[in-house]
Amino acid sequence: MKYAILLAAMAWAVPAMAQTPPAVPAAQVQRTSAPTRILFIGNSFTYGSHSAVRNYRAASVTDLNGLGYGGVPALFKLFTQQAGLNYAVSHELRGGATLGFHLAERRAQWERPWDVVVLQDLSTYTRETPGNPASHIRDAGAIAALLTRANPRVRIELMATWSRADLVYRPGSRWSGTPIARMAEDLRKGTDAARRASPDIDGVIPVGQAWNRAFANRVADPNPYDGIAFGQLDLWGHDQFHASTAGYYLEALVVFGRIIGRDPRSLGAQEKAADELGLSQAQARALQQIAWETLAAEG
């Protein structure tokens, strides 16, 4: 692998209750050094469709398509600023797009040197044969090869997304009637296969696994169609397909923890984005804990 991930130094393997996250001071970003250039390529699951996240702090990131989205990249940017880190964040995002679309139609926007790239594919890989990872494996590998050619030291991470409630609790889907965790696990298997198939892909960001953990730990309600249990979060938006603000916040926390190699709990209960987007301190703490436990379980 091109990038040495220092997760061992972050002590991910220590049980959750045994490690207290250090407080992050209001550190000043080191402006004297060049920023780390990170690019997000994906679709509405990354730009925050159907939530307040979509246009959140859009001016803090560079939208290569000029659509004015902030999304998960803007959350990531704010997290890095609060951690005292210097990241230049860009994204090339289009609703409903596969990685194949970005490869065929948007290559001119993103084919250049980057330090880190996050790739996120369609929620079912393909519309024609949902759940078939063949195109995902092919297109993720092709994009990773081009990005590696532009910068041989680039770190490329592939995102594994969440189960869609509309495809689990409604009829007509290959996941209809299955446990809510199943779809995310199936998507993770395809993403793992894409990573194994490409020497240029460095890792997987386990967003779907974080959602599954939130359901298992009763931080989030696993079935929005029968009402949301008191004290639990709804991670889906109004279409039971895209994420809610809480769902995208959890996604961004997992991205932050994976890319930076830092305990997401270090952001603290008073983290700015949670406050500005209407999440309570207790909700922010709970989602940060889920993100940390998910990354710890990944080793």
Percentage of the chain modeled with pLDDT above 70:
89
* Cβ–Cβ under 8 Å, residues 267 and 81: no
State the pLDDT at residue 93.
98
State the pLDDT at residue 33.
85
Say if residue 60's pLDDT is above 50.
yes
2: confidence class by pLDDT, cuts 50, 70, 90: low
Say if residue 99's pLDDT is above 80.
yes
More confident residue, 30 or 242: 242
User: For the residues 180-188, what does the mean pLDDT come to?
Assistant: 98
Q: In what order do the strands lie in the sheet with 155-160?
A: 62-63, 87-93, 36-42, 116-119, 155-160, 203-206
User: For the residues 236-252, what does the mean pLDDT come to?
Assistant: 98
* CA torsion angle 19 23 24 25 (round to 10): -160
User: For the residues 133-157, what does the mean pLDDT come to?
Assistant: 98
Say if residue 162's pLDDT is above 60.
yes
User: For the residues 156-175, what does the mean pLDDT come to?
Assistant: 98
299: confidence class by pLDDT, cuts 50, 70, 90: confident
List, in order of start, the domains of the chain with CATH numbers. 30-298 (3.40.50.1110)
User: For the residues 60-89, what does the mean pLDDT come to?
Assistant: 98
User: For the residues 190-207, what does the mean pLDDT come to?
Assistant: 98
Q: What is the pLDDT of residues 6-46, one digit of tens each?
A: 343 344 433 333 344 444 444 444 455 899 999 999 999 99
Average pLDDT, the chain: 92
* Among the ranges given (7-16, 36-45, 254-263, 265-274), the one the predictor scored with the smallest mean pLDDT: 7-16
User: What would the DSSP string read from start to end of the chain?
Assistant: --S---TGGGTTTS-GGG-PPPP---PPP-TTSPPEEEEEEE-HHHHTTTSTTTTTTGGGSEETT-S---HHHHHHHHHHHHTT--EEEEEEE-TT--HHHHHHHSHHHH-S--SEEEE---TTS-SSSTT--HHHHHHHHHHHHHHHHH-TT-EEEEEE-PPPHHHHHSSSSTTTTS-HHHHHHHHHHHHHHHHHH-TT--EEEEHHHHHHHHHHTTSB-S-GGG-PPTT-B--B-TTSSSB-HHHHHHHHHHHHHHHH-S-GGGG-TT-HHHHHHT--HHHHHHHHHHHHHHHHHH-
Output the CA–CA distances (angstroms, integers) from residue 260 to 39, 68, 175, 226, 274, in the order listed: 14, 25, 33, 37, 19
Q: What is the pLDDT of residues 106-130, one digit of tens each?
A: 999 999 999 999 999 999 999 999 9
